[in-house]
Chain A
């Protein structure tokens, strides 16, 4: 296999892996392609407060469950002086339990959860399993006739349990309720009473029905109460119905908190207990959401990525990952354009300084420091110093210049001059040394050419490295590094002309 074929295979593999992983992260894990895409995330909190009287206290509270459209991640619980554990309920739901031996006075315990869009559980009600046929409820004399009438009508206009439940809901919740409904519920009935009546009627028709209480995240204010839905066993499946609207299926943004007979909360050993719910929504960067979501699902790609590192190290990588972009710019400008630079990668280092100092300040400081440095270095030449002492002398001159510029700049009110310290001293010293040698050997024209080329390269690299999109892509999709590598490898085998050769050799092309 020739070097060229090998290179092609490597390049193809790099491109496939780089783009492939990026595509996987985008399509499967939801990493956004563009920076600044945001997604809504909710924080739901339930707080139970009570008055303890020195007796053992046990607080039980049902906890919200994930659905097929919402993912619930517990964020924290609190209850000062209380022990806490989670109990798996009988087949469904979870219960948080707080206990303390002898608390006194006003106490509160709370549970907080983060809720993301895009749940993974097939259905929370699958856990409920097949129910037993409910005991037929007892209707008293005044109720039995209207109840029968309602059931008969609903039965006629439905084909299965689901339809029956919807029909009953529509009748009970109708704006102009029929005579039978009025008799059953009386004047101005509460929501609770209406839903309880639907459940009773369904039980009378031997349809297993449980109540599902939870929150509509999109309708909740900061403090809110729970809404009630009904889960109906229909044709081997639980179907959720919103009795108020008569709509079937679990709404996307409904967060179930309590299912069936499970109690919402119980407090033993204390008085005046009450529960309060609150929901706040906030907008999070979509990439952050994807990250939390991905690590919950245990995606190895995230487990073994930069994102698993501590935040400070992540920030270091944020800068490191931009260097390949600078390298690519240098490669393109040198090998495709034919620009001369002093020192191969010196422009990248200068570009990174520009990132910290801002472009114009950085440019001015660089030119000032290098010019004065060159001037002083040209005097050192006449002293005929050995190499290392010479560089060391230049280094001290450079540091003195930093101090001088900072102090003078600060005194006359140019605080930007202080950022001169961002320039790496050793690199600047070597640049001065090399340019001074260049000036002696090849003349000032070459110094300007190479110095200008270096600065131009640094500026272009700076523009790329500070580009919001590039910064975002390199950090969120570090696998694109492989794509950069592939491009650089390709350029490494490029044997065509450089841009500057098009005019360098132009006379030869035109002659014939």
Chain B
């Protein structure tokens, strides 16, 4: 159970460690002044709008406690919406309203809540209850995603998103995180969510892990994880590549969800994406980083996001892990 690999074995497998991520990927490629763009979801939203990236529409923003009084009227035309803190972390403080029942709001679980609870929730967001370091925050109200049914049966509560790591504009690796009862409905790998590596070329499942160990079926629903195939995959990869251009971050994690009608939507961006994606993919990302560096060092590296996405889909493929050489 407790076995250890030698540093040399890890290196041969192309694994990138935390120190290398922090020094070579984040510190060198992500200038600090760009962080607020992605740490503040309101600014990310603005960014998406400016660059024409598909994202859930912003319905409104609550900045002060006084504005809550007007909210009930303001929300009337919207049957479905999501309230979230602009600087929330780890999916905390997100309230989803899936419908109306008279003056009550219906949660996705079917539970009913009154406006008083909604207003208290917003109050908590404003006071910084959910933000990093407890700083005062603003509450965003955005339209609810109508999830594509492709992941039905694959999650226990929660919403599966697709995390794509983009390095210098080239989509590098992708995975989807499926919440489980063990993870308490949260899509957090180290709390026991299932991570499924996705083939950059096809969007099909490569392998799945839970708590670092391979699994073949979802522990709660029993669904066969190998059957996952993300529809509209080239659009997902292209959207990820465009996120890099918009944000300017050299090492970026784009979290993308699939809307039934509108297709891939950017949910949020991350300037410090983790390394668990390597475990979910069953391979290290070092080779792919090297391949991108090599490509950029030579002339004729594709410049536009569409060309870069295409290049990545051609070269970073398959469970054999490495880089498909031409």
Closest-CB distance, A344 to chain B (whole angstroms):
14
Contact A501 B18 (CB under 8 A): yes
> Contact mask B154-172 → A, CB, 8 Å, 1/0?
0000000000000000000
Closest to B281 in A: A508
Within 8 A of A (CB), among B80-135: 89-90, 92, 120, 123-124, 127-129, 134-135
Asked whether B4 is an interface residue with its Cβ less than 8 Å from the other chain, the reply is yes
- Looking at A443, A498, A505, A507, the one whose CB has the most chain B CB atoms below 10 A away is A505
Asked whether B260 is an interface residue with its Cβ less than 8 Å from the other chain, the reply is no
A497 with B4, Cβ < 8 A, contacts A505-B278, A505-B279, A511-B282 known: no
User: Contact partner of A443 among B11, B184, B284, CB < 8 A?
Assistant: B184
A509 with B89, Cβ < 8 A, contacts A495-B24, A498-B18 known: no
Contact B24 A501 (CB under 8 A): no
Q: Which residues of A contact B127 (CB under 8 A)?
A: 386-387
Q: Which residues of A contact B213 (CB under 8 A)?
A: 507
> Contact mask A473-512 → B, CB, 8 Å, 1/0?
0000000000000000000111111100111111111111
> Contact mask B196-225 → A, CB, 8 Å, 1/0?
000000000000010011100000000000
Q: Which residues of A contact B5 (CB under 8 A)?
A: 502-503, 505-506, 509-510
Q: Which residues of A contact B90 (CB under 8 A)?
A: 441-442
Closest-CB distance, A333 to chain B (whole angstroms):
13
Cα A501 to Cα B10 in complex, Å, equals: 9
Closest-CB distance, B20 to chain A (whole angstroms):
4
Contact A496 B17 (CB under 8 A): yes
Cα A335 to Cα B20 in complex, Å, equals: 11
Asked whether A338 is an interface residue with its Cβ less than 8 Å from the other chain, the reply is yes
Q: Which residues of A contact B9 (CB under 8 A)?
A: 509-510
Asked whether B55 is an interface residue with its Cβ less than 8 Å from the other chain, the reply is no
Contact A506 B128 (CB under 8 A): no
Asked whether B270 is an interface residue with its Cβ less than 8 Å from the other chain, the reply is no
Q: Which residues of B contact A492 (CB under 8 A)?
A: 23
Asked whether B12 is an interface residue with its Cβ less than 8 Å from the other chain, the reply is yes
Q: Which residues of A contact B134 (CB under 8 A)?
A: 387, 433
Q: Which residues of B contact A503 (CB under 8 A)?
A: 2-5
> Contact mask B247-290 → A, CB, 8 Å, 1/0?
00000000000000000000000000000001100111000000
User: Contact partner of B19 among A384, A494, A510, CB < 8 A?
Assistant: A494
Q: Which residues of B contact A501 (CB under 8 A)?
A: 10, 15, 17-18
A441 with B23, Cβ < 8 A, contacts A386-B127, A501-B17 known: no
Q: Which residues of B contact A507 (CB under 8 A)?
A: 209, 212-214, 279, 282
Cα A512 to Cα B282 in complex, Å, equals: 10
Contact A496 B12 (CB under 8 A): no
Within 8 A of B (CB), among A440-494: 441-443, 445-446, 492-494
Q: Which residues of A contact B128 (CB under 8 A)?
A: 386-387
Asked whether B6 is an interface residue with its Cβ less than 8 Å from the other chain, the reply is yes
Asked whether B29 is an interface residue with its Cβ less than 8 Å from the other chain, the reply is no
Contact A508 B191 (CB under 8 A): no
Cα A496 to Cα B123 in complex, Å, equals: 45
- Looking at A442, A494, A504, A512, the one whose CB has the most chain B CB atoms below 10 A away is A504
Contact A495 B120 (CB under 8 A): no
Asked whether B7 is an interface residue with its Cβ less than 8 Å from the other chain, the reply is yes
Asked whether B188 is an interface residue with its Cβ less than 8 Å from the other chain, the reply is yes
A-B pairs under 8 A by CB, number: 101
Asked whether B13 is an interface residue with its Cβ less than 8 Å from the other chain, the reply is yes
Contact A502 B10 (CB under 8 A): yes
User: Contact partner of B17 among A446, A497, A511, CB < 8 A?
Assistant: A497
Within 8 A of B (CB), among A77-110: none
User: Contact partner of A495 among B19, B124, B212, CB < 8 A?
Assistant: B19
Q: Which residues of B contact A384 (CB under 8 A)?
A: 120, 123-124, 129
Instruction: Give the size category of A's interface with B.
Output: 20 to 34
Cα A507 to Cα B3 in complex, Å, equals: 9
User: Chain A interface mostly helix, strand, loop or mixed?
Assistant: helix
A505 with B23, Cβ < 8 A, contacts A387-B128, A498-B17, A511-B282 known: no
Closest-CB distance, A461 to chain B (whole angstroms):
21
User: Contact partner of A502 among B4, B188, B282, B283, CB < 8 A?
Assistant: B4
Q: Which residues of A contact B129 (CB under 8 A)?
A: 384, 387
Cα A436 to Cα B80 in complex, Å, equals: 32
Cα A324 to Cα B2 in complex, Å, equals: 34
Contact B13 A441 (CB under 8 A): no
Q: Which residues of B contact A498 (CB under 8 A)?
A: 17-19
Q: Which residues of B contact A511 (CB under 8 A)?
A: 13, 282
Closest-CB distance, A285 to chain B (whole angstroms):
42
Q: Which residues of A contact B188 (CB under 8 A)?
A: 442
Q: Which residues of B contact A445 (CB under 8 A)?
A: 191
Q: Which residues of A contact B120 (CB under 8 A)?
A: 384
- Looking at B134, B279, B321, the one whose CB has the most chain A CB atoms below 10 A away is B134
Q: Which residues of A contact B4 (CB under 8 A)?
A: 502-503, 506
Closest to A505 in B: B15
Contact B92 A508 (CB under 8 A): no
Q: Which residues of A contact B278 (CB under 8 A)?
A: 505, 508
Cα A476 to Cα B282 in complex, Å, equals: 52
Q: Which residues of A contact B92 (CB under 8 A)?
A: 441
Closest to B188 in A: A442
Q: Which residues of A contact B15 (CB under 8 A)?
A: 497, 501, 505, 508-509
A506 with B20, Cβ < 8 A, contacts A384-B129, A387-B128, A501-B15 known: no
Contact B283 A497 (CB under 8 A): no
Cα A506 to Cα B135 in complex, Å, equals: 39
User: Contact partner of B13 among A443, A504, A508, CB < 8 A?
Assistant: A508
Cα A508 to Cα B209 in complex, Å, equals: 11
Closest to A501 in B: B17
Contact B3 A506 (CB under 8 A): yes
Q: Which residues of A contact B18 (CB under 8 A)?
A: 338, 498, 501
Closest to A388 in B: B134
Cα A387 to Cα B132 in complex, Å, equals: 11
Q: Which residues of A contact B6 (CB under 8 A)?
A: 502, 509
Closest-CB distance, A442 to chain B (whole angstroms):
6
Q: Which residues of B approach A to under 8 Å, CB–CB?
A: 2-7, 9-13, 15, 17-20, 23-24, 89-90, 92, 120, 123-124, 127-129, 134-136, 184, 188, 191, 209, 212-214, 278-279, 282-284, 321
Q: Can you give 10 contacting A-B residue pairs, CB < 8 Å?
A: A384-B129, A387-B134, A497-B11, A498-B19, A501-B17, A502-B10, A505-B5, A505-B15, A509-B10, A509-B12
**Besides A445-B191, A502-B7, A507-B214, 11 other A-B contacts (C-beta < 8 A):** A384-B123, A384-B124, A386-B127, A443-B191, A495-B20, A503-B5, A505-B279, A507-B209, A508-B283, A509-B13, A510-B3
Nearest 9 pairs of A and B residues by beta carbon: A509-B5, A495-B20, A387-B134, A509-B9, A497-B17, A506-B5, A386-B127, A509-B13, A505-B15
